[in-house]
Amino acid sequence: MAKPKKQPRPKAETPKGFRDYFGTDVTERQEMLAKIAAVYHRYGFDPLETSAVETVEALGKFLPDVDRPNEGVFAFKEDGGSEDGTWLALRYDMTAPLARVAAQFRNDLPTPYRRYTMGPVWRNEKPGPGRFRQFYQCDADTVGSASVAADAEICGMLAETLEAVGIERGDYIIRVNNRKVLNGVMEVAGLSGDDKEAERGIVLRAIDKLDKFGAEGVRQLLGEGRMDESGDFTKGAGLSDAQTDIVLGFTNAKRDSGAATVAALKDLVMGSGAGLQGVEELEEIADLLAAQGFGADRIVIDPSVVRGLGYYTGPVYEAELTFDVQNDKGQTVQFGSVAGGGRYDDLVKRFTGQEVPATGVSIGVDRLLAALRAKGRIGGTAPGPVIVTVMDRDRMADYQAMAATLRAAGIRAEVYLGNPKNFGNQLKYADKRESPVAVIQGSDEAARGVVQLKDLILGAKLAQEATLEEWKSQPAQVEVPLADLVAQVRALLDRHG
C-alpha cells in the first residue's frame, strides 16, 4: 500500500499587495479617524456602515465587460443553485455603496442625506511600492442637494478636518475648480459635440499630466503628440495652436486673488452658457467660504485642479499638503494630495432613472497618516501595559487581583502568563512589550503587605547613561505598600509623561 503523500505546510506570508497592521499602526489610525468623525459629526453628518460586499451590478460602472468580471475588483459567483448565479464583489470604493443605499432607502432617508463612512476598500490591481490592494478610505457626502452651498460646506469641513488631526494652517491648501468651466473651455475651443468625444478624452488626459510634464509637455499632447525620453511616442489631440492656447489658458488662469481668477475664467468661457454657469458657481462658493471665515490661506479657486474631471459634473476640490518631504530617491518634494472629491450628479441615476445631485470628498487615510508621521505629529513608540510578574505559581489569584485593581483605576495592566520559572524572561517580555513598570511580589513581600515597583524606562536609561553615583541616587526599583499600588504606579507613569 502506497504511503499517503504528506500535505505541504502552508506558507506563512501575507498575500501579494496586502499588509498587516500592528500596534501603533492600528491605534494611531483609530485616533485619527475619531478626530475626523468628531468634525463630521459637528457638521451634522451621520455615520454609515455598508456591507463590504456588493453585487457586481451595483458596482458595474467600475467593471469591464468580460465573462468573469473580476478585473479591477475581487469578485466571486454566488451559485444559488443555478448557472446564472449572482456575481458579488468586495467594494471598490465608498461611493458606489452610497449610491445603492441612497436609491434603496430613498423613502426612509432625509433629503438631503449627509453621511460619513470609514473602512477598507479592495482593488484587484497590480501592487507596487506604497500601492496596496486593500487600503482605508474616509468619505463624507451630501446626497440630494443641488446647491453649491453643499460643495462649499464640504470644502470648509475638509479644512477643519486637516487642522483637527494635526496639519497646521499654512501646511495645506484646498484647491477648488469646476467641470462646467472646462466644458465651457471645450466649447469655446470648438471641442463640443459627440463627434469630438475622442479629442476631449485626450485633452482631459493631457491636462491631467500638467504636474508631471509641465506646460510644454501638455502643449505637445494637445497638439501632434509627445515623445518621451525612451523614444515612445504618445499621439496628441491634434488641436490647433489657437485651440491649445485656450485650453492652456484655462489651466493657467489662477491669479493672486479669487476674484481675479474668476474674472480670468469668465473671459475664457465667454459665449458658453455652461462655462459661465461654472464660473458663477465658483464665485458663489468663494463667497460662501469667505462668510464662514475660510480665507485664501486655506481654500483657493485654482483651475489647475484637473484630477477626476472626467468623472465629476460640477465643482471639484483637492486637499494638498504643501510642506517638503524626502521621497524614496532622497529628493526633496512637496508631500502632495491627501484628499479629493467633487460633485457627481449621475451616480444614483443608475438605480432610479432620475438624476439625484450629490457631492462628497474622500480622504486617503494611509496618506494622511504618513503626512502626520512626516510632521512628527504621530509615530512615537506607544507605552505598553504595566506587567504584573509572577513569582509564585500558586498565588496567581493575587497577581490577577493586582492587575484588576490597576485596570479599575484606568491603568493598562496585564499579568505575565508565560512560564514564570525564569524571572529574567519575564523582564525580557516586559521590555518587548515596551512596558513602563513591572510589579513584583514574592512570598516575603506578600507577608509584609508590600510590592516592588521596577521603573523599566528609568532602569534602561540609567543602564546606558548613568554613572555609579547617579545609579545609587536614582533607584529604578522601589518598595511600596500594596495599598498604595495604584498611586505609586500612576506616579511612575506621570514621571515619563
Query: In the structure, what pLDDT confidence band is assigned to residue 468 with cuts at 50, 70 and 90?
Result: very low
Q: What is the pLDDT of residues 241-283, one digit of tens each?
A: 999 888 888 888 888 888 889 899 999 889 899 999 999 999 9
Summarised one tens digit per residue, pLDDT across range 441-457 is 999 999 999 999 999 98
Could you tell me which residues come within 8 angstroms of residue 261 by beta carbon, excluding any fewer than 6 positions away? 253, 254, 255, 300, 301, 302, 303
pLDDT > 70? residue 51: yes
Mean pLDDT over 310-330 rounds to: 85
Predicted confidence band at 209 (pLDDT cuts at 50, 70, 90)?
A: confident
Nearest to 95 by CA among 312, 299, 285, 305: 312
Domain ranges of the chain: 23-374, 386-495
Q: Is the pLDDT of residue 58 over 90?
A: no
CATH tag for 23-374 (out of 3.30.70.1290, 3.40.50.720, 3.30.930.10, 3.30.70.1380): 3.30.930.10
Query: Is it the case that residue 471 has pLDDT exceeding 50?
Result: no
What share of the chain has pLDDT > 70, as a percent?
92
Amino acid identity at 285: I
- What local confidence, expressed as pLDDT, does residue 309 receive? 65
**What is the reported pTM?**
0.85
Q: How confident is the model at residue 465 (pLDDT cuts 50, 70, 90)?
A: low
What is the reported pLDDT for 339?
95
Class of the CATH domain delimited by 386-495: alpha beta
